[in-house]
Amino acid sequence: MYKQAVLLIYYKDKNGKLRHEPQGKFFYDSDGKAIFLADMSQNKVFRFCNGYSISKQIIEAFSELKIKPKIIYRRLDLNMIYKTTSSTFKALGIFGNWANHDQYVLPIKAGNWTTQSGNINDEPKGLPKMDLADWKKSKHFSTERMVDIDIHITIPSDVRAELRKRTLEKIKSAVIISR
C-alpha cells in the first residue's frame, strides 16, 4: 500500500519558475480500494470540450506503480461526484499541454464518467502533502487494518520432552565446536 497523502506535482510556469500544485488526495476506502479524489469547480471545467483534466504525471505514476485507483472528481457547488479510471482518461481523454504541464482532459459525457449526487464518506482529513516522486517511494506494509491473534498450541508432554532434549543436544554440540 502507498501512503495516503495529498499529491503534489512540479512544473515550470511561463516564466520558467518551478511551481508545485496539489492535485488531489490519494487514499484507501473502508474496503481497502485505492481512491484519487480531487475537488473541482466551474473554473476547472475545460470549456472547449466540457471536461475535467488530470495531470499526465499522476496518470503515469499510477501506471508505473500498477495502481488502479477509482478517480473521483467532486463538485461541492453542485453536490455531484464524477467517477472514472486512469485507463479511461488515457483511452478517451484529449491529451495536451495546458497550464504549462501535460494533461488529459476527459469530456463529461456518458461512458466517460459515472455520476451520482452526494459526498464521499471515507474521505480522510489532514493528510500530509507529498511530492509525487517521494510518494512513489512510500510503499509500506499497512498496519491500519491488522488484527492481533493469539494462537495457543497444545504439545503433548512426550513430544515437548523430545524437543527439549534435541535443543539441548544442539546447544551442547555448538559449545563444543566453538571451543
Instruction: Give pLDDT tens digits for 64-101.
Output: 999 999 999 999 899 999 999 999 999 999 999 988 88
Tell me which of 100-104, 118-122, 174-178 is least confident: 174-178
How confident is the model at residue 146, as a pLDDT? 43
Average pLDDT over every residue of 58-64: 95
pLDDT above 70 coverage of the chain, percent: 89
Is pTM, for the whole model, over 0.95? no
pLDDT at 147: 45
- Residues facing 85 on adjacent strands: 70
In angstroms, the CA 103 to CA 82 distance is 18
Predicted confidence at residue 174, as pLDDT, reads 66
- Count other Cβ atoms within 10 Å, centred on residue 32: 10
Distances (CA, A) of 155 to 41, 158, 171: 65, 8, 22
User: Which top CATH class is 5-136?
Assistant: alpha beta
33-42, 139-148, 158-167: range with highest mean pLDDT:
33-42
**pLDDT for 148:** 47
Each residue's pLDDT tens digit, 113-158: 999 998 888 889 999 999 999 999 988 655 444 444 555 567 787 8
pLDDT of residue 179: 54
Cα-based distances in Å from 99 to 14, 58, 125, 133, 169: 8, 15, 28, 20, 73
Q: What is the pLDDT of residue 94?
A: 93
What percent of the chain is predicted at pLDDT more than 90? Answer: 53
Residue 102, SS3 per DSSP: strand
> What is the pLDDT, as a whole number, of residue 140?
66
pLDDT of 39 > 80? The answer is yes
